Structure 1
Amino acid sequence: MSTIGDSSGTGSTEPEETPGQEEATVADGRVSDAVDSREEETTEELSRDLVFDVLKNRRRRYALHYLRRADGSVQLSELAEQVAAWENDTTVDAISAAERKRVYTALYQSHLPKLDDASIVEYNQNRGIVELSDASEQLDVYLDLDAQPDIPWCNWYLGLAVAGLGVLTAAWLGLPPFSLVADVLLATLIVAAYAAVALAHVYFTRHAAAANEAPPELQEA
């Protein structure tokens, strides 16, 4: 008696894959591998020259400060209003239309495209939406005020005062080698030391402020 059904006699009911199905499976695997490889790619490191070039402009620093505090993407109009308020040391409600427009135009035409080209933000110019990219995290060390080293300048001045007093006392008591140096020369050296520390203090303060200037309300926080 013949068996009706599978001519091979195995009794298998599983459908065989056609050549088209096999090609689709291979294609899906390749797409999956491509997606996985893109996900595994690390964020490209920003060069120091690029970071300094981006942060040398105060308006761009203000924009980055605001985007860091935002949760996700923000409207360009909203960003421009806050940056204009910071620049004019006032509130958003108090800025004029001209101040708002000036900042909006500069962000729209120049600053945000520059940040987008540097892969620091993701900027949709047509929709007027901007948000930080993953690469922007590399700027945190430069934008964060707490990242700046806290040089105890008062200790430097106090140390100079103690050292100067000790040198003058030793000269007054006739202790060598200070007794061999004229009083005028000792005083000149002490004044020169104070001047050097003062100049270093001024230089550091100005350059630190230029590189890491935070919006007024963050400075007060």
Structure 2
Amino acid sequence: MSNEMRRLPAQGNGELSKGEIFDVLQNQRRRYVLEYLKRYEEPVSLSDLAMQVAAWEYQTPLEEVTNDQKKRVYTTLQQTHLERMEEAGIVEYDTGENVVTRTPYTDELTIYLEIVPGSEFPWREFYLSLGSISCAVVAALWTGLFPLTLLTSLEWATVIASTFTAAAAYHTCSGADLQLGDDEYSPDEFDR
């Protein structure tokens, strides 16, 4: 589809180095390109891509993006960003057809697009605390500590398993909206 891809794998094994990944992702427009591409398996037109990126950048609905806004985004994508992303092997850009196609690296980089706002609940610490408390309860049960012996070991196992299950279910449901671009337009969390 595009000219022969010019990959720059610093590791020599066909994988992108961390430096390359962060170099590509340091630019918000490139992150928006990845967000848009992860939604489509088939090639996308540069025009549609530029329109959506402009909507996200200007935090406006798609139908309210002006021609000037779209043109600014279109031009920089065409002249700078898509070429850099293709050099890294992250996308394929067909300049003749003006279409952009995902590569296997596109999917691998989406993990870097996850947003964790500063006000986000500290889940790692929560699970560590929950696990520590569970271990303390089990140790106390082994020693026969009085208030804990009011429930059987099976009942305590049920309480612990239910607590972890409920926490994981809540974490999963509450985290579903923490992806770049899942809303009408994407928040600008990367530049905070």
TM-score scaled to structure 1, two decimals? 0.49
User: Any stretches of 5+ residues in structure 1 without a counterpart?
Assistant: 1-42, 156-211
Deviation at 1:54, TM superposition (A): 0.7
1:95 aligned partner, one-letter code: V
Report what 1:215 is aligned to. Answer: 181
Residues 61 and 213 of structure 1 are in contact (CA less than 8 Å); yes or no, is this contact kept in structure 2? no
The whole-number CA distance in structure 2 between the counterparts of 1:72 and 1:89 is: 26
Shift in alpha-carbon separation, 1:92–1:142, aligned structure 2, 3 A: same
Report what 1:5 is aligned to. Answer: none
CA deviation digits over 1:11-49, x for unaligned, max 9? xxxxxxxxxxxxxxxxxxxxxxxxxxxxxxxx8211000
Residues 74 and 129 of structure 1 are in contact (CA less than 8 Å); yes or no, is this contact kept in structure 2? yes
Shift in alpha-carbon separation, 1:49–1:64, aligned structure 2, 3 A: same
Is the aligned partner of 1:151 residue 2:117?
no
Deviation at 1:152, TM superposition (A): 4.9
2:111 to 129, 132, 141: 141
User: Any stretches of 5+ residues in structure 2 without a counterpart?
Assistant: 1-12, 127-177, 188-192
- Number of equivalenced pairs: 120
Residues 82 and 93 of structure 2 are in contact (CA less than 8 Å); yes or no, is this contact kept in structure 1? yes
1:215 aligned partner, one-letter code: G
Is the aligned partner of 1:121 residue 2:87?
no
The whole-number CA distance in structure 2 between the counterparts of 1:87 and 1:219 is: 8
2:110 aligned partner, one-letter code: D
When the two chains are superposed, the root-mean-square deviation of aligned CA atoms in Å is 2.9
Deviation at 1:145, TM superposition (A): 3.9
What is the DSSP-based 3-state SS (H/G/I as helix, E as strand, rest coil) of the residue aligned with 1:59?
A: helix
Report what 1:89 is aligned to. Answer: 59
Deviation at 1:78, TM superposition (A): 0.3
Deviation at 1:137, TM superposition (A): 2.5
TM-score scaled to structure 2, two decimals? 0.56
What is the DSSP-based 3-state SS (H/G/I as helix, E as strand, rest coil) of the residue aligned with 2:56?
A: helix
Report what 2:19 is aligned to. Answer: 49
Sequence identity of aligned pairs in percent? 38
Residues 116 and 123 of structure 1 are in contact (CA less than 8 Å); yes or no, is this contact kept in structure 2? yes
The whole-number CA distance in structure 1 between the counterparts of 2:65 and 2:186 is: 20
Is the aligned partner of 1:64 residue 2:30?
no
Shift in alpha-carbon separation, 1:219–1:95, aligned structure 2, 3 A: closer
Structure with the greater alpha carbon radius of gyration: 1
Report what 1:74 is aligned to. Answer: 44
